């Protein structure tokens, strides 16, 4: 039961990191040359997951802009808002699943303690 709690807490922390990374990507969607980051999860031997953040160095779209020195090609950010929205939805559902696991483990522990009285 304690391992279920530990795994659920690990999941909550990992998805909190994913939300943080996604929020940073969305905040920089209009920053020229910004490279988005992505979160991958690695299983930990003791149970749970570890979030690993990796930068996506793929090129963003380029546009022609007028500058004081004439027209110039500018690389935009490589952030895809649709992808970030889906990631946020998945993180939300994962939070809900981990919270349900914590509630169930808490209920089970409460039942065991009530039986011992």
Return the domain boundaries, the chain: 2-116
Q: What is the pLDDT of residue 68?
A: 85
The pLDDT, as a whole number, for residue 117 is 65
pLDDT (0 to 100) of residue 111:
77
- Give strand ranges (E) for 5-69: 37-43, 49-55, 62-67
What is the structure's pLDDT at 105?
87
Name the residue among 46, 73, 47 with its Cα closest to residue 62.
73
Residues 6+ positions from 88 with CB-CB distance below 8 Å: 19, 22
Predicted TM-score of the model (pTM): 0.81
Q: Residue 86 has what pLDDT?
A: 97
Give the whole-angstrom CA distance, residue 100 versus residue 30: 37
Q: What is the mean pLDDT of each run of 10 residues along the chain (117 residues)?
A: 82 95 97 96 88 96 90 95 96 93 86 73
- Say what the pLDDT of residue 44 is: 87
Looking at residue 1, its pLDDT comes to 58
Place of tokens 């709690």: 5
């Amino acid at each position: 039961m304690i391992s279920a709690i530990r795994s659920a807490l690990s999941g909550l922390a990992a998805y909190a990191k994913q939300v943080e990374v996604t929020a940073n990507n969305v905040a920089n969607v209009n920053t020229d040359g910004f490279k988005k980051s992505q979160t991958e999860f690695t299983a930990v031997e003791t149970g749970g997951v570890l979030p690993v953040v990796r930068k996506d160095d793929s090129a963003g779209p380029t546009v022609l802009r007028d500058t004081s020195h004439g027209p110039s090609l500018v690389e935009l950010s490589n952030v895809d808002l649709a992808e970030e929205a889906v990631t946020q939805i998945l993180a939300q559902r994962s939070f809900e699943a981990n919270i349900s696991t914590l509630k169930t483990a808490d209920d089970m522990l409460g039942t065991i303690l009530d039986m011992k009285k």
